[in-house]
Chain A
Amino acid sequence: MPINISDKTIKREFIDKVAYLSGQDIYKCFQCGTCGGACPMSGEMDVMPRRIVRMTQLGLEEAIAQTKTCWTCASCHSCTVNCPRGIDLARVMEAIRLLTLRKNENMVEPSKLPGETVKEMPQIAMVSCFRKLTS
């Protein structure tokens, strides 16, 4: 998928917000791909975490919004502990999620979950899922 990069596509505000929320210097990333290699969910992702960081560096907010990466992330911190540049990538993923969730969007709709699912799930599954994927 070709991505156009120009003055119009670079969302400076998006870059600043991700940096602010995550507390991370995303420009440290040198694209080694260790994060994706360590990620247990990477086989289920459409775009590798490494590319999400590159897209964030370039302020490609809309292109990132088209991907499912941060919604597939399970916040397991494998990327974080393996990053040779010391970037806490789990925080970057959280920041990208929050920029959507804080617009009052839910990725999971608690009220629409089937009764059977709610009955069988351990509480920590629901609490953690709603914490990470709802507004």
Chain B
Amino acid sequence: MKVTYYPGCTLKTKAKNLEDAAVASMAALGVDFQELSRWNCCGAVHSLADDDLIHHVAPVRDLVRAMEQGSDKVVTLCSMCYNSLARANLIMRDDPVKRKTINDFMDEEKDYSGEVEVVHFLNFLRDEVGFDTIRAKVKYPLNGLKAAIYYGCTLARPRNVAIEPPGGTQLMTDFLEAIGATPIHFADAFTCCGSYQILANPENAVNVAAGILDCAAKAGAEALVLSCPLCEFNLAKKQGEMIQSGKISNNLPIFYFTQLLAAALGLGKEACRFDLNEKCSAEILKAKNLAVEAVAGIA
């Protein structure tokens, strides 16, 4: 099976653990996972003003690139990329007036009208790879790892791009069960982590993120699983600050779902990249004697 994926900017720098684990897992599962040969930033957020079409041009160009190389589908790993590509795609598919304006503006490009399907990696795993296939290929099941399912905003809202029906967490539940982990459901699974406010109003964002971690811990989670590098930053990288200011009492290990997949498939350090997570992530795996090879040597 061959598929095109769109990495996005953050996966090439701050979230290499999200990408490396996915690419290695796909190789282990026999999927030819090809990076889109040319791409640009997706714009990260969708423009919400009716007259603001210029900001849709960046994600649409990515979709044109995919169409040009003959891909009818582009898989994304980062939640924000997924959201902005999928929403721009819907405009091009469903809104003839905006589509014409955008196509006319990009007169050097081929006309585009939503031919490419934007798919999040979790949907791809379920629909194309199959959770049964994954279950059969799991070498080291993550037995006993109680992992909170966290979707955040961009996988779930708005409804027309949600990766599953509103309020549902079946996808991540089935995924975690396939790799042997224990899914933990908690009230803040869809609560925004504070997003870009971490830059503008960091105190506000940290307060919101701390509330999510506290809620997950109280629901019995020992770790939290997500798919967005900005959520990871707010929920993981800011934990030291939260503990210092008394907003949370203990660290909660945060993982990208792709890292847990790679670990369960028995892939090593170079694939799982737990060295790029906060220390507590490798520590909990060591304490539970899970993913032994992938965490060996991480201090």
Contact = CB atoms under 8 A, between A and B. Distances in A.
Contact of A127 (B44, B194, B197, B237): B44
Contacts of B195: 74-76, 125, 128
Interface string B60-95: 000000000000000000101100000000000000
A88 B157 CA distance: 12
A107 interface: yes
Contacts of B229: 122, 124
Contacts of A98: 49, 52
Nearest to A19: B50
A129 B234 CA distance: 14
A72 interface: yes
B192 interface: yes
A46 to B, nearest CB: 11
Nearest to A80: B158
Contact of B48 (A74, A75, A122, A123): A75
B198 A43 contact: no
B44 A128 contact: yes
Nearest to B78: A124
Contacts of B48: 22, 75, 88, 90-91, 94-95
Contacts of A23: 50
A127 B200 contact: no
A133 B192 CA distance: 18
The 8 closest A-B CB pairs, nearest first, are A76-B192, A129-B196, A94-B48, A44-B204, A77-B157, A127-B44, A74-B195, A128-B196
Interface of B: 8-10, 13-15, 41, 43-45, 47-52, 55, 78, 80-81, 153, 157-159, 166, 190-192, 194-201, 203-205, 207-208, 211, 228-230, 232-233, 237
